[in-house]
Structure 1
Amino acid sequence: MRPALWPCYVGVVSAAIGVSTGQVIAAISNPESGPVYAVGAMTIDATPARVKEFAVRTAGTFDKPLLLAGVVVVLAAVAAFVGLAAARQRWPGFVGMAVLGGIAVVAAVTRPSASLVDAVPALVSAAVASAALLVMLRRPGAPPEAAQRPRLLDRRAFVGGVALAVAGVAAAGAAGTSRVAWRAAARSRDDVRLPPPTRLAPPLPEGVEPGFVTSNADFYRVDTALTVPRVDVDRWTLTVRGMVDRPFEISFDELLEEPMIEQYVTLNCVSNEVGGPYIGTAKWLGVRLADLLRRAGVQAGADQIVARSVDGMTIGTPTATVLHSGTTRGTQPALICVGMNDEPLPLEHGFPARMLTPGVYGYAGSCKWLTDIELSTFGDFDAYWVRRGYAAQAPVKTSSRIDRPRPFARVSAGRVVVAGVGWAQGNGISTVEVQVDDDAWQPATLRPEPNLDTWVQWTHEWQAAPGSHTLRVRAVDRTGTVQTGDRAEPFPNGATGWHTVAVTVT
């Protein structure tokens, strides 16, 4: 290693030792208070909505790992500069490590669900990093050449030994996080025995094709949680409060004693581009939310339900939407869900309980890791995404998608089956139409739909001639409203436009 780079190496390694130690401590108390996770979460909160949409659109489910990697890269660059500054005088190094630690402290304690204890990992990180910096740099008064090599050790052995130590501490932090927190939550979930529903979901109609129900493993996940909240059901409670006559709190066991409803519902993320993957259908099990609200006694004027997650996320839902959900034939009620596809909610999908409001995008009605429901008004409170420019009320827009053939596919001339899904929650789909190039729109064949709040599968037989072709799809709901072809991005209230696929026929 070049002598001039040695202080940079010392700074990076010192910061890595400190951060890894903080992550180990956070694994024991609260994984979200780990320095990297806390700073990453603060970065997410400060990121403009359009940048977030770009990240989801381009990186998909890899957006969070990329963000964490970016935090680590920036930390390494700053730490290298701190090490360089400390090579001649120690105090700039200690100040630099203190500043990095202070940023992590602020990030940890300003989380919505944070306590002062969450500052401990960041404080320990700063202290350990400063101590490592002091040990690895030459002692005051030592000759200048001592700054270029560690005392009593061959440099190569020293570098290798420190690198192994950092890797070991980092691995311990990762292992601690997964073992201490994840296993406890998984064990808590494994102990849950869901009660049989008092209202079974009707069997899927004959003619529904495979893939109608999205498996838990394949169901999309879009949220701001860098670490999946780990919740112990024995300590979990749901509080209903705010503009109600009779606020109350209910435990998980008490929630399971309530009448359970089973239903198929399609869930759609507002970040979903036209033809995008952030939509899925599952069989949900849960308690009718309207029943809990009536028990509490909703006061006049309470037009917004503010749902809070254990990690502090807030979701705002129109009260009228919840109270009226499921009252129209063919529509499904809003639920506090405890089950998904015949098993307890997966950890990443909201265990132990989440909200599910058919007909609105997830950010406006489907709070995961739910722990608090407050009756309020849209005038008094803006939920997390509304403060970032998204619409306060966001009904799902009528849309459709081509799943087969895939974009830029090569297919053989002759009979080609074009297939996909369409949805118009609350109204249902009456027609799906397919257009080839600029020819007339042709009706597709609809598969049966279980209810008005699920997507519907469709197929269309196309006699394909050789050459390049463009396929388009549009849906018509049961009120006669035709899906718009005007293109709009997801921000601020959902994408619009016709899904278009280019194929080559050989």
Structure 2
Amino acid sequence: MKEIPAPVKPPERRRLSLPVATLIGLAALVTALGVGHLIAGFVGYNASPFVAVADFVIAHSPHPVVVWAEQTLGTADKTVLKIGLAVVLVLFAVLAGQLSRRKPLAGQVLVGLLGIAGVAAVYERTDVGQLALLAPVVALVASLLVFGWLHRYALPPAFDESRAPEGPTRRQVLVRGAGVAAGAGVAAIAGQVISGAGDAEASRAAVGPLIPSRKAPPLPADADFQKLGSPPFITPNADFYRIDTAFVVPQVRTEDWSLKIHGLVDREVTLSYADIRTRPLVEREITMTCVSNEVGGDLISTAKFIGVDLVDLLDRAGVRQGAEQMYATSVDGFTCSTPANVALDPKRGAMLAIGMNGEPLPVEHGFPARVVIPGLYGYVSATKWVTDLEFAKWDSRQSYWLERGWAEQAPIKTESRIDTPSGFASVTAGKVRVAGTAWAQHIGIAKVEVRVDQGPWQQAMLSAQVNKDTWRMWWAEVDVPSGTHSVTVRATDQSGYTQTDQIADPVPNGASGWHSVSLNAH
């Protein structure tokens, strides 16, 4: 009887291991980021795919998310965004690798979709030219090529499935993938160097001393009560609060900067940095406040700003009757709307500032130049890296925050806070010293009162008033019996208005309410 041969088991289809597949996806990702950053060095830093996508996320995030990020994360919001975006990209890269353990097509499609998102993010930008699209396009092509190349190397095509070539070892694939990553890193560094990311600091250092022809008067000795627990009157530049939408701090050299004033004006004016630098400079102490500042919050700081009177520059352009807003644009595309009547008021003291606390503006605070307008929340008055001022009607243009439902008119509300003792502090029962800060910019603080629990209001000692556009410090001694008690503060401004105890969220025109802290007395 003829023996029937056993059925031949078909060869098992080859596939990449999980670590190797993951490596291929990650190698394609770092290639896209590195090459994109390199090309961006030639066509514009903000064309870097990672930067463009991050700015796209900032610009298109739902308004409640933006508010939550500012209030919860404060100045760490950009760092959290960087980390979050990096994690998402890594997850997509890993997924692309896992989908391609047998064939590269599925992973390449996913990589392609990510690349198209980068192209769309750059295309939407208004601060880069058409050549900027080269960065995400070349990044996309490079990532697809690397993905396919590494996939073929790790899983070479077999002409005879029953005699599949052995292929490289995992170590060999790892070495090749590490080489790709190293090359991408070199490309990213080269892009950073080519883009001149350090040039802004060099340009800033070359500005030289800024000597105002109208210097602010010396601060009185009792301008603050720092020894009693208030902050210093002048906030050091390193401690000055920073809230903006810039994912990457714009790097602008003085020789590349200009300011255009146009729109509803008699004549269009374009000014260079030299035009501003050589004008007589003025120095003013101004307290700035972020609209996102919660009751008792710390998004408020004071500096000596040096610059020129904004109204003098606007007079050169001849702003026409009927202009309702000054629509300011930053070099990174951020926009801000200021009521035109405020910007044009010679008594307001609005400035185009080029210096801060005796030195050129720090890069992160707007170097080479920024707008500073006393008495208005920063989102309508404090455009950093400003490069364009257009006068227009309200209904013709909507700036970044107005599109998100914030108020057109944004005068800073009269507010106060307790700086010391901190909330839930343990104190000795009896006389307790309380100190803090109050502000009512462009009106001035007249009185600050504190009380324990629901007891009578007690007037606090005020520091010397420097001017009506700055904060004012206070302190008082209150009787705190044993146990847990609350201390509350309220301020009255020089118009006679006492801050309301009605609690309001920052949206749409600033928070309100009385600040209280709980103390444990023993």
Bucket of the pairwise TM-score, normalised by the shorter protein: over 0.9
Report 1:269-288 matches (<5 A). 269-288=290-309
Cα distance change of structure 1 residues 450 and 142 upon mapping to structure 2, 3 Å threshold: farther
State how far apart, in whole Å, the 2-side matches of 1:470 and 1:30 are.
54
Q: Is the 8 A contact 1:389 1:492 kept in 2?
A: yes
The offset of 1:377, in angstroms, is 1.3
Find the residue that maps to 2:237 and give its secondary structure: coil
State how far apart, in whole Å, the 1-side matches of 2:161 and 2:421 are.
69
Cα distance change of structure 1 residues 143 and 252 upon mapping to structure 2, 3 Å threshold: farther
Q: Is the 8 A contact 1:31 1:227 kept in 2?
A: no
State how far apart, in whole Å, the 2-side matches of 1:229 and 1:178 are.
15
Equivalent of residue 257 in structure 1, options 259, 278, 290: 278
State how far apart, in whole Å, the 2-side matches of 1:432 and 1:186 are.
42
Q: Is the 8 A contact 2:210 2:358 kept in 1?
A: no
User: Could you say which residue in structure 1 is the equivalent of 2:9?
Assistant: none
The offset of 1:4, in angstroms, is 4.1
Q: Is the 8 A contact 2:483 2:520 kept in 1?
A: yes
1:443-474: per-residue Cα shift (whole Å, max 9, x none)?
Answer: 11100121101000000112333321211111
1:229-287: per-residue Cα shift (whole Å, max 9, x none)?
Answer: 11111121111111111211111111112221110000011111111111100000111
User: Could you say which residue in structure 1 is the equivalent of 2:91?
Assistant: 77
Q: Does 1:32 align with 2:49?
A: no
The offset of 1:2, in angstroms, is 9.2
1:97-140: per-residue Cα shift (whole Å, max 9, x none)?
Answer: 22211110111121121212222221222122112211221233
User: Could you say which residue in structure 1 is the equivalent of 2:222?
Assistant: 207
Equivalent of residue 187 in structure 1, options 202, 206, 210: 202
State how far apart, in whole Å, the 2-side matches of 1:26 and 1:456 are.
46
Find the residue that maps to 1:225 and give its secondary structure: coil
Find the residue that maps to 1:494 and give its secondary structure: coil
1:140-177: per-residue Cα shift (whole Å, max 9, x none)?
Answer: 33778999x9933x414643663475267347625753
Report 1:227-376 matches (<5 A). 227-325=248-346, 327=347, 332-376=348-392
Equivalent of residue 140 in structure 1, options 147, 157, 161: 157
Cα distance change of structure 1 residues 479 and 169 upon mapping to structure 2, 3 Å threshold: same
Letter in 2 for 1:282: A
User: Could you say which residue in structure 2 is the equivalent of 1:112?
Assistant: 126
TM-score in terms of structure 1 length: 0.93
State how far apart, in whole Å, the 2-side matches of 1:219 and 1:167 are.
38
Cα distance change of structure 1 residues 84 and 267 upon mapping to structure 2, 3 Å threshold: same
The offset of 1:497, in angstroms, is 0.9
User: Could you say which residue in structure 1 is the equivalent of 2:103?
Assistant: 89
Aligned length: 499
Q: Does 1:121 align with 2:131?
A: no
Find the residue that maps to 1:182 and give its secondary structure: coil
1:391-427: per-residue Cα shift (whole Å, max 9, x none)?
Answer: 1111111111111111222223343221111011121
User: Could you say which residue in structure 2 is the equivalent of 1:131?
Assistant: 145
Q: Is the 8 A contact 1:402 1:499 kept in 2?
A: yes
State how far apart, in whole Å, the 2-side matches of 1:144 and 1:466 are.
85
State how far apart, in whole Å, the 2-side matches of 1:62 and 1:113 are.
25
State how far apart, in whole Å, the 1-side matches of 2:420 and 2:81 are.
33
Cα distance change of structure 1 residues 441 and 380 upon mapping to structure 2, 3 Å threshold: same
Identity of aligned residues (%): 40
Q: Is the 8 A contact 1:136 1:150 kept in 2?
A: no
State how far apart, in whole Å, the 2-side matches of 1:150 and 1:486 are.
75
Q: Which runs of 5+ in 1 are unaligned?
A: none
The offset of 1:499, in angstroms, is 1.2
State how far apart, in whole Å, the 2-side matches of 1:434 and 1:29 are.
58
Q: Does 1:428 align with 2:455?
A: no
The offset of 1:483, in angstroms, is 0.4
Letter in 1 for 2:75: T
User: Could you say which residue in structure 1 is the equivalent of 2:467?
Assistant: 451
Cα distance change of structure 1 residues 100 and 150 upon mapping to structure 2, 3 Å threshold: farther
User: Could you say which residue in structure 1 is the equivalent of 2:29?
Assistant: 15
User: Could you say which residue in structure 1 is the equivalent of 2:181?
Assistant: 166
State how far apart, in whole Å, the 1-side matches of 2:479 and 2:495 are.
31
Cα distance change of structure 1 residues 9 and 150 upon mapping to structure 2, 3 Å threshold: farther
User: Could you say which residue in structure 2 is the equivalent of 1:407?
Assistant: 423
Letter in 2 for 1:239: K
The offset of 1:94, in angstroms, is 2.7
Q: Is the 8 A contact 1:489 1:496 kept in 2?
A: yes
Cα distance change of structure 1 residues 472 and 73 upon mapping to structure 2, 3 Å threshold: same
Report 1:48-67 matches (<5 A). 48-67=62-81
Q: Is the 8 A contact 2:451 2:478 kept in 1?
A: no
State how far apart, in whole Å, the 2-side matches of 1:398 and 1:469 are.
25
Cα distance change of structure 1 residues 462 and 171 upon mapping to structure 2, 3 Å threshold: farther
Cα distance change of structure 1 residues 156 and 503 upon mapping to structure 2, 3 Å threshold: farther
Q: Which runs of 5+ in 2 are unaligned?
A: 1-14, 227-231
Q: Is the 8 A contact 1:353 1:369 kept in 2?
A: yes
Letter in 1 for 2:33: V
The offset of 1:208, in angstroms, is 1.5
Cα distance change of structure 1 residues 34 and 134 upon mapping to structure 2, 3 Å threshold: same
Q: Does 1:388 align with 2:404?
A: yes
State how far apart, in whole Å, the 1-side matches of 2:409 and 2:431 are.
44
State how far apart, in whole Å, the 2-side matches of 1:26 and 1:65 are.
21
Computed over aligned residues only, the root mean square deviation of the Cα atoms, in angstroms, reads: 2.3
Q: Is the 8 A contact 2:210 2:359 kept in 1?
A: no
Cα distance change of structure 1 residues 271 and 39 upon mapping to structure 2, 3 Å threshold: same
TM-score in terms of structure 2 length: 0.90
Residues 463-472 or 480-489, more deviating: 463-472
Find the residue that maps to 1:285 and give its secondary structure: strand
User: Could you say which residue in structure 1 is the equivalent of 2:11?
Assistant: none
State how far apart, in whole Å, the 2-side matches of 1:280 and 1:178 are.
34
State how far apart, in whole Å, the 2-side matches of 1:145 and 1:304 are.
75
User: Could you say which residue in structure 1 is the equivalent of 2:245?
Assistant: 224
State how far apart, in whole Å, the 2-side matches of 1:173 and 1:412 are.
58
Cα distance change of structure 1 residues 168 and 397 upon mapping to structure 2, 3 Å threshold: farther
State how far apart, in whole Å, the 2-side matches of 1:146 and 1:219 are.
69
